[in-house]
Amino acid sequence: MTSFPEGFLWGAATAGHQVEGGNINADLWPLEWSANSNFNEPSGDACDHYHRYAEDISLLSDLGLNAYRFSLEWSRIEPEPGYFSHAALDHYRRMLETCLNLGVTPVVTYNHFTLPRWMAAGGGWSSEQAPARFARYASRVTQHLGDLLSWVCTLNEPNLMSMLENTGVLAMGAGERGPAAKPSGSGSPGIGGFDPARYRMGLLAADVERMAAAHRGAVQAIKSTAENVKVGWTVALVDLQAAEGGEERCGEARRRGQTDWLGVSGQDDFVGVQTYSRSRIGPAGTVPPPAGIPTMQTGWEVYPDALGHTVRLAAEHANVPVLVTENGMATDDDEARIAYTRAALEGLAGCLDDGIDVRGYIHWTLLDNFEWTSGYSKTFGLISVDRETFARTIKPSARWLGHVALRNDLH
């Protein structure tokens, strides 16, 4: 079977800091500019999606896609602790209205890595106050936007640090130079009491209990205001495979870095699956891909089967409906992107054939964007963006995916 269920969500994803531009009050902004920054370049204007979202959502809709995953920037909505910006919430309300007016289902991530500077200064997710802070934020957001929401992802890839600790492998978000920013010298842009040397991407805690508490508090805050909204979190699922002699190590890494986190989703309405590639684990840790095999711009093996494999893993361990919230390929060869995505979708169709409840496929990403420490060099987008005029150019892969979406069928 290559056709998909009625009502299947076909979408593309973005994240605020990676596309909006001018996200000055976020923790990452000063790190991007600090001396000895680990970022290849600063995010700057990004894709100016903050002002051009209506054009982008129209493009997505015109292509034939029916879902748009985007994130809310906490640092805009709560620029100072306990002070919530109605103006920022109104901005995101206009984004949601734009989606709904075009018949596009919004899939909204409440937090996609970046934190307000004050939250980072207060220890980020490792602070004991983090769950309460996130719940307060989630509550205010839902009060303002809840009537327009249908799918919410609380946290994006909360297992990222855990994956790194247990495998040495990072999924999206870290780039090839690792997640830690080097300490900045004096005279760097001030962050206000926050030590950049302690920074980790999203200041995520590797501790599943801590992150689950933050998630659970947010779910409760959201459901108490908007009970019909489907809520889950999205898990970074590199397809971990045992290399020779690595069975035990791989199993342990999969458990601690992935399935413990998928278990948290057992109480949710869905689990978000985010996957790009595989990684093979030997007795001493990650085994690099053999020389000569095709890789993405990120250095990851081109391995579309990861999607079917990890959707099965998620369904088995979370036992709730699956929404693919990210999958894609960093490449400047758009034909390769189509081939990758077609193969990944074949794997996904196989999951559906086997009775797994998959609700949608959201491609990473709508626009070539700011890929964290890698800057703008890694192009995952269905649409390219001129860095000075912000002009959008639709790639053939975008039209291809739009056709699949419109036919709701791969062939």
Partner 1 sequence: MTRSETAARRSPEGFRWGAATAGHQIEGNNVNSDLWFLENIEPTIFVERSGDACDSYHRYEDDVAFAAGLGLNSYRFSIEWARIEPTRGRFSIAELDHYKRVIECCQAHDVAPAVTFVHGAAPRWFAQDGGWLNPDAPALFARYCSTAAKALADGMVFAFTINEPQVGKVFRCIPGAEGYFSAQDPLSLRAHAAAAKMVNTERFVTTDHPDLDGMTPQLIAGHEQGYAAIKAEKSDLPVGVTLSVTDFQPGGAGSPFEEVRTGAYGEWLDAISRAGDFTGVQSYRTVRIPGSGEEYEPLPPLPFTDPHDRLAALQRPEALRNTVEYVYACTNKPVVVTENGLETEDDVRRVWFIGEALSGLLDAIEGGVPVLGYFHWSLIDNFEWTRGYAPKFGLASVDRRTFARTPKPSAARLGAIARSNSLPGGL
- Give the binding site for partner 1 (CB under 8 A): 21-22, 24-25, 33, 42, 44-45, 48, 50-51, 76, 79-80, 83, 85-88, 90-91, 186-187, 189-193, 388, 390
Biggest alpha carbon–alpha carbon distance for the chain: 60
* Smallest distance, partner 1 to C-beta of residue 173, A: 23
Shortest Å distance, C-beta 39 to partner 1: 13
Backbone angles phi, psi at 28, to 5 degrees: -70, -30
**What pairing do the DSSP bridges indicate for beta strands 278-282 and 285-287?**
antiparallel
Looking at the Cβ atoms of 90 and 354, the one nearer to partner 1 is 90
Are the C-beta atoms of residues 278 and 238 closer than 8 Å to each other? yes
The Cα–Cα gap between 171 and 261 comes to 15
Q: Which residues contact 35 (CB under 8 A, 6 or more apart)?
A: 184, 185, 187, 188
Q: Which is nearer to partner 1, 42 or 178 (CB)?
A: 42
Q: In the 8-state DSSP scheme, what is residue 354?
A: T
User: Residue holding tokens 């057992």?
Assistant: 266
DSSP 390: -
In the complex with partner 1, the residue whose CB is nearer, 95 or 104, is 95
Q: Which is nearer to partner 1, 90 or 332 (CB)?
A: 90
Which residue has tokens 């996130």? Answer: 134
CB of 23 to partner 1, least distance (A): 10
Separation between Cα atoms, residue 234 and residue 262, nearest integer Å: 9
Q: In the complex, what is the shortest distance from the CB of residue 8 to partner 1, in angstroms, rounded to a whole number? A: 35
Three-state DSSP state, 258: helix
Closer by beta carbon to partner 1, 329 or else 385: 385
Question: For residues 86 and 177, which CB has a smaller minimum distance to partner 1 in the complex?
Answer: 86
Least distance CB 295 / partner 1 (angstroms): 33
Least distance in Å: CB of 32 to partner 1?
9
Are 251 and 282 within 8 A, CB to CB?
no
For strands 383-385 and 392-394, give the pairing: antiparallel
Give min distance, CB of 290 to partner 1, in A. Answer: 42
Nearer CB in complex with partner 1: 14/259: 14
CB atoms within 10 A of CB 390: 17
